[in-house]
Structure 1
């Protein structure tokens, strides 16, 4: 029987569904105690049920700085310091630049850039002290290219990749790695919402909209959430990979 006192601790944000659920399940199967956070208690319960190991369900708003501090305090009180942070929580918005409101712009920055920054800032001191830690941010191929109608989302993802690269350079000699995984269009609820938006704005059928997104990947299909989780686990297990934005996009964007 495993000694729970020596089992490493992972935190997955946006763990209620999609990529976050797959990553949490994989980390749990790999022997981590996994703290799960998202807004929905029901979604988190579903993720916890898929994890073979011990989980800690901590619902809340990751964009609230007070919640981030409390989240880490609760994990540390229960299990000790976080060894692996997977900053997965995120969202998108579609609008032309001139139709993007201040509220939409700020929401993208708050969730996709500032929340990972706060989680990273809180996680690093203990990782550096222990001379071991892994941070993986789920970014997007939008961190590397620009496409029309997603300026706020793209700006936030470009920003978070810059954060990853700078943080990785700071801690490279201290046993801590910081990476981003940059998926294309993944078969998740977030993409389902994108499909609905295309249908509403263009009048295309749902199948036409989904096919249009699938065709953006040269492999001709959506990426699976398990394929993204594979890349996350590579970053967790390989200490020589750091400061990278690893594309999981079917060959759509040159690295």
Structure 2
């Protein structure tokens, strides 16, 4: 299914910015969204996109974004649900951090899909692309809210795919490991673990996403090693958990992760 128009959330920096730039290079008309209005405007200016800043995780915010995008593009071929948040560390992650993670990493996708699917089902085509994480198919040591909600993002994407595939709706989940973004740089000592199999640039990820837009594969794995990790996890969950626990213990000894 060709993509002529697209919306990218969280497009002010990182993977979202790179996706908007790559889509624009390929001739796709783009609407970019970000909480940071200045950043969104800068990306729009450099790509010829329309900037619609705001909080795309809330019902009101996503409704405004969707309406503005339809008014500008007429039809939306693809929605890149890229905005995400990594909040809290360890079991003491605050209630507010859990709530923010749930809203941005899961409910933003649900709320966007509610608006997009009626038109896509009527047209018989549409593409919903979730920027999840390798944490969504594996886990993320030290970051329970991130790990759990990224699993939720992948699970919701799977549900959409199983429910609407025969209606012409393509659903994809981008699941990288370490990517050189502000989120990774805020990870502190965890950067080394996240970058174990190489920290890609956002442009690398955007380049790797372009090909799957033409073959419709569900899991987009910029780090191919994730496929083997996921296979090991599925093949023997107890063995995989024991291995991850050994890694947790090593990181505790190095004082990289808390032990609670």
Q: Which residue of structure 1 lines up, in the alignment, with residue 90 of structure 2?
A: 96
Give the equivalent residue in structure 2 for 1:249: 223
Conserved 8 A contact 1:133-1:177: yes
Any idea what SS the aligned residue of 1:38 has?
coil
2:202 is the counterpart of 1:225? yes
Structure 1 contact 136–232 (Cα < 8 Å) conserved: no
Q: 2:13 aligns with which of 12, 17, 24?
A: 17
Correspondence 1:117-132 to 2 at 5 A: 117-132=110-125
The CA RMSD over aligned residues, in Å, is 1.8
Q: 1:67 to 1:210 in 2, by over 3 A?
A: closer
Alignment of 1:1-255 (within 5 A): 8-51=4-47, 54-97=48-91, 99-195=92-188, 198=189, 210-214=191-195, 216-217=196-197, 221-239=198-216, 241=217, 244-249=218-223, 251-252=225-226, 253-254=229-230
Residues 223 and 250 in structure 1, CA contact (< 8 A), matched pair in contact too: no
TM-score (norm 1): 0.83
How far apart are residue 211 of structure 1 and its match? 4.1
More helix by percentage: 2
| Deviations, residues 162-191 of structure 1 (Å, cap 9, x unaligned) | 111110111111222001010101011111
CA distance in 2, matches of 1:210, 1:110: 25
Secondary structure at the residue paired with 1:183? coil
1:212: how far off?
4.6
Query: CA offset at residue 28 of structure 1?
Result: 1.0
Q: Label 1:79 to 1:213 Cα distance change in 2 as closer, same or farther (>3 A).
A: closer
Change (3 A) 1:213 1:67: closer
Structure 2 residues without counterparts, runs of 5 or longer: 232-260
